[in-house]
Structure 1
């Protein structure tokens, strides 16, 4: 039986965490120069039928509009953003950085999985380079650190390595997908028997069987990969990953990085670097991303890009045992005597315009609020004060208060 008092509290805590995680992610994305955009909740079914992605068409939520056209509830954000850019540019005019926080809709066979989930992600439209890819992976890592995670692992692979190795093999698309699944699961027992069903060069077969073992730090992976049958493109891929890793080392993120050439393309449109992020005590990736330089060509444009997305519900779940209010304090709390209500409203409006988060309530309700705050403003008849954890400073009017806040914030 549901405890009627406990249930609303749990729901309140869940939604508070949900919103504060989004706020943290928004702030970090903005520090890297990304601008927030939105796409339509309904898209034409044909938009997704022409692009090979991870979304099975049977998983899409379909509706019929008043003209009889088939629409789908948005199952992916990257595709409509790329399509919209392609309608305006045939080639990339300059580097473009966008981020989004939107619902996506997919109906899977798992009845325990919600049809609706909230994704937060970025799309960086730019030419391929180790520097650009490293910046995006650094952003993903910094985002997880902002959320309080310490045990972070970013696994990095490259779509071209596997694609080059299986190119020209006598395998259907379905059989290649079966092989991908075996390699992704590192099922070394079944990879060999699966390949022996086909007429494949023994040297190539041996190279494919080695892929699940190409996992670990960059030096060891490159050393083991050099014993594998390498084409010129595969050698270029390894060289690219070496440069990428060197750049991530400059960011100070080396401890979080693992190279995994068995990380197979999980999105049909990825063509370069692919990566996924893990955090402590959670067995599934909390973020996934990669480079998709060829997606724009599906819409008649050249729009190279890299991006990643994370699911907010998963991040809430993995932070379930954490105290949100301790990690995400309110900026300012205003406590006032009834006679100072008008002044309290004036201060609150001004601070909110300056992007402070503000709570305001009369002194008689002070004990009801236990939320941690950075600054407390106390308005009593004939006495106004601003306090932080170290000092209490009197002020006489709004102008002086704003000067004090700027000084305290600047010295923090």
Structure 2
């Protein structure tokens, strides 16, 4: 008995007509912007060996991966992330390429989050990776590209920046297991203050636990840095704060000080291959981030090539949801003309249609055996011109 032949798997959906137009417009707008800044597009396989995502750091829990085997019994996964496969390519096929490398992509990733309702397991990501530079200008270029990506889509947005090193510096001084550290990270990310306080209380009261308790509340403008320095009078953390402050001030100036860029020291991304700057972007009317990225200076070294990198991905699905929420879908364009062939005139009709297309028109062939049906169809589809080929005269109707 077939139970699932008329539905799609959880976390996926069919896209029709106007939805496809929205998605392609977003993808094309972003890719054109990236390429205008010197980024070259690349595509990695939808299927990767599990080993690519099973490095020492285990960035992706295997329960979140879609897994299958190949004809030799080797374990494969459907690509859950674009950055790690690109890191693999850089460490192998692009190892001798001139640095810096500026790469962009537009591809789908697959992840399962069983606990989430309304989730997307099939996510279109369009993004960039700037590889081979640790300079501040690289960080600022990526931030400005993220800002311009949102501006290009014509939507109200906000961009948050943070530094994962601050959290790692603090949590690394706790006598905690990896599982406990991950629990602390998740509570900070979700800004769950009561549960975070309860968990940190089990480690006693000291300046480390006090700082971690207040980390999710440290967000806003330039005043965040003063509050953080008072809370964490530590030379290593002060150095990280100074680094982030410099980037924040330059980014705010670069983007016109219009209030779209804020600091959030509670940014502690789940994908913990990030080592420094963290970037998250949000659109008005959508609670989840639509841009996520940052600096990952150690990831490519796990593939045997030690070079720094920074990048971000735009969640195209999330932007589509914001557009669709307005209820205004773009009209599906109608063909300019439809060509009807009387019996025996099919070849001539096909040639006529091609000639019209070469003139720049969108032309459809009529798949009816009587002219009245063609006229009704053209009226329904709002096709402005009917071309009739009868072997003797070519007739056009408005």
Which bracket does the TM-score occupy, shorter chain normalised? 0.7 to 0.9
Q: 1:342 to 1:184 in 2, by over 3 A?
A: closer
The corresponding residue for 1:58 is 63
Residue 183 in structure 1 maps to residue 188 in structure 2: yes
Deviation at 1:189, TM superposition (A): 2.6
Q: Deviations over 1:186-219 (max 9, x none)?
A: 223333332221256x1222222221221100x2
The corresponding residue for 2:150 is 144
Residue 83 in structure 1 maps to residue 95 in structure 2: no
The corresponding residue for 2:293 is 289
Deviation at 1:136, TM superposition (A): 1.0
Alignment of 1:185-334 (within 5 A): 185-199=190-204, 202-217=206-221, 219-254=222-257, 255-320=259-324, 321=326, 323=328, 325=330
Q: Deviations over 1:28-70 (max 9, x none)?
A: 1112211110001111111111153653211211111111111
* 2:357 counterpart (324, 329, 345): 345
Q: Deviations over 1:5-35 (max 9, x none)?
A: xxxxx93111121111111111111122111
Deviation at 1:294, TM superposition (A): 0.4
Q: 1:51 to 1:75 in 2, by over 3 A?
A: farther
The corresponding residue for 1:132 is 138
The corresponding residue for 1:120 is 126
Q: Please say which of residues 282-291 and 308-317 is displaced more in the overlay.
A: 308-317
* 2:169 counterpart (164, 167, 188): 164
The corresponding residue for 2:53 is 48
Q: Please say which of residues 71-80 and 130-139 is displaced more in the overlay.
A: 130-139
SS of corresponding position for 2:267: coil
Deviation at 1:359, TM superposition (A): 4.3
Cα distance in structure 2, aligned partners of 1:360 and 1:142: 37
Q: 1:260 to 1:370 in 2, by over 3 A?
A: farther
Deviation at 1:335, TM superposition (A): 7.8
SS of corresponding position for 2:281: strand
The corresponding residue for 1:13 is 18
Q: Deviations over 1:133-165 (max 9, x none)?
A: 121121112111211202x11111101111112
Cα distance in structure 1, aligned partners of 2:215 and 2:171: 12
Structure 2 contact 337–383 (Cα < 8 Å) conserved? no
Q: 1:115 to 1:279 in 2, by over 3 A?
A: closer
Structure 1 contact 131–247 (Cα < 8 Å) conserved? no
Deviation at 1:103, TM superposition (A): 1.5
Uncovered stretches (5+) of structure 2, i.e. residues with no partner = 1-14, 340-348, 366-374, 385-393
Deviation at 1:172, TM superposition (A): 0.6
* 2:105 counterpart (84, 87, 100): 100
Cα distance in structure 2, aligned partners of 1:269 and 1:241: 18
SS of corresponding position for 1:18: helix
The corresponding residue for 2:390 is none
The corresponding residue for 1:374 is none
SS of corresponding position for 1:268: coil
Deviation at 1:369, TM superposition (A): 5.4
Structure 1 contact 99–123 (Cα < 8 Å) conserved? yes
Cα distance in structure 2, aligned partners of 1:159 and 1:325: 40
SS of corresponding position for 2:106: strand
Structure 1 length-normalised TM: 0.76
Cα distance in structure 2, aligned partners of 1:250 and 1:318: 28
Cα distance in structure 2, aligned partners of 1:284 and 1:274: 15
Q: 1:336 to 1:304 in 2, by over 3 A?
A: same
Structure 1 contact 334–360 (Cα < 8 Å) conserved? yes
